[in-house]
Amino acid sequence: MIDKTAATLADALGPVRDGATVLIGGFGTAGVPEELIDALRQQGARELTLVNNNAGNGDTGLAALLASGAVRKMVCSFPRTADSWVFDDLYRRGRIELELVPQGTLAERLRAAGAGIGAFFCPTGYGTPLAEGKETRLIAGRGHVLELPLHGDLALVKAERGDRWGNLTYRKAARNFGPVMAAAARHTVATVHELAELGGIDPEHVVTPGLYVDRVVRIDRVATRAGGFRQERAA
Amino acid sequence: MNGIQRRGKEALARRVAQDIPDGAIVNLGIGQPTRVADHFGAGRDVILHSENGLLGMGPAPAAGAEDFDLINAGKQPVTLRPGGAYFHHADSFAMMRGGHLDICVLGAFQVSATGDLANWSTGEPGAIPAVGGAMDLAIGARETWVMMDLLTRDGRSKLVAQCSYPLTGIACVRRVYTDLATFECTPQGLRLVDAAEGLDREALQRLVGLPIA
């Protein structure tokens, strides 16, 4: 019998080796697997490469993982925010490496990894500093940059509902990087707020089919601690 | 600049909105361009795309009704209009690169006369670079428009012969809406669309320091 459900976050996470590449979903306040990030920090693996759109906010979650000294390199599109002081400090002291990737290229490199694509030519970034050192080609008269897939050893994904086969649905804009990260990692762990019986998720509504997912763990729904939200509207 | 009717932020947003046709699919970047959404009026059905996986984005919710799973690219709570859709990041950026968005409106540090865009980094030493979706949007949408003040605080033109800041994209900007005038960027250089009252082409050319057709 296939049963991917785990009783605890630590069981769901399993062993994580030093030097692993960890894909972490989430964008702003939506879809951040905060409980799994905390479990990863408590598990204690070091020299990690993290892939996330941002580089942590405030002092909790991803920022706490960075502050623990467990991270060697950050791969992201937008590390600098008003409250990214943990990353900013590590970066300015030369204690963390940064690979800056345009957001769509980040998503597509993850998609390519999950889809078994060896590399792809992408027009984003052509002629900019982010294409320096990369192979380029004119295709139909337009400049393209060669981009490589971005594989993970582990993906941490926050979903909404799941079942014991690992099928997942998401909620609103919390979907963001979840589906492509789930497919791009050798081992994918998802939190859900609700565990459904097999068949309890309409097959028409499954967003991440279970074959991409290794462990599912149910967590309570709590008010978000994820960063990026400010009460006043942006100017 | 006495006697010139400079467009304020709201007037500029209204001016950009005026050129967005009914039925257009539009991405309004983050910051100032998001104000454009306040000026479509009731007669137009404009579908807003947000890079984090929304199509048919609606206005901010009422205070107390925020849903932190429903936010925009600027990470502020928003709503979804009837007919809207959610999708993942790879799909969202496929919509951009694949040419499925009609227009995106971005801010800028500099734009060259032929439409090169610099809007992600001032290249200052010690600054932490961050690009987000700017490069994908700039080259992906069928038309990229820029919304900015024409002059820097110390009076230098942000429309330039060649960008000195790191580029976001090459020859990707079609129109530039500023507080003092609206321009088109073409392979031949700048073309004037309209100017603030009290400002003529010659005066604009002196401010910009470039020929304006």
Q: Per the domain annotation, does A171 fall within a domain?
A: yes
| Per-residue burial over B12-24, b = 16 or more CB atoms within 10 Å of its CB, e = otherwise | bbbbbbebbeeeb
Residue of A175, A177, A192, A206 for testing the chain B interface, max B β-carbons within 10 Å: A175
Q: Is A200 helix (H, G, I), strand (E, B) or coil?
A: coil
CATH code linked to domain B9-208? 3.40.1080.10
- How far is it, in rounded angstroms, from Cα B57 to Cα B50? 7
Q: At what angle do helices B89-97 and A103-115 cross, to 10 degrees?
A: 110
pLDDT at A233: 38
Query: Which two three-digit tokens encode residue B145?
Result: 């428009």
Task: Name the residue of chain B whose CA is nearest to A93's CA.
Answer: B126
> For chain B, which ranges sit under pLDDT 70?
1-2
Contact list in B for residue A122 (CB cut-off 8 A) is 97
Q: Per the domain annotation, does A79 fall within a domain?
A: yes
Task: Name the residue of chain B whose CA is nearest to A79's CA.
Answer: B130
Are residues B211 and B190 in contact, defined by beta-carbon separation less than 8 angstroms?
Answer: yes
Q: Per the domain annotation, does A146 fall within a domain?
A: no
Q: Per the domain annotation, does A228 fall within a domain?
A: no
Query: Which two three-digit tokens encode residue B121?
Result: 């980094």
ipTM here? 0.95
Q: Per the domain annotation, does A209 fall within a domain?
A: yes
Q: Is A34 on the interface with B (CB under 8 A)?
A: no
What dihedral do alpha carbons A80, A85, A87, A92 form, nearest 10°? 90
Closest CA to A42 of A60, A65, A26: A65
pLDDT at B124: 86
Give B 176-205 residues with CB within 8 A of chain A: none
CATH number, position A201? 3.40.1080.10
Contact list in B for residue A180 (CB cut-off 8 A) is 88-90
> For chain A, which ranges sit under pLDDT 70?
223-235
Structural domain that includes position A64 = 17-100+151-218
* Closest CB to B70 among A87, A103, A172: A172
What dihedral do alpha carbons A61, A66, A70, A75 form, nearest 10°? 100
Q: How far, in whole angstroms, is CA B147 from its chain's centroid?
A: 5
Q: Per the domain annotation, does A186 fall within a domain?
A: yes
Q: Is B107 on the interface with A (CB under 8 A)?
A: no
Q: Per the domain annotation, does A96 fall within a domain?
A: yes
Contact list in A for residue B129 (CB cut-off 8 A) is 79-80, 98, 100
Cα-flanking dihedrals φ and ψ of residue A69, to 5°? 80, 15
- When divided into structural domains, chain A yields a total of 1
β-sheet bridge partners, residue A137: A144
pLDDT at A39: 98
Q: Per the domain annotation, does A162 fall within a domain?
A: yes
Q: Is A121 on the interface with B (CB under 8 A)?
A: no
pLDDT at A137: 98
Strands (E) located in chain B: 25-27, 47-50, 54-58, 79-86, 103-106, 110-112, 117-118, 143-148, 159-160, 173-178, 181-186, 189-195
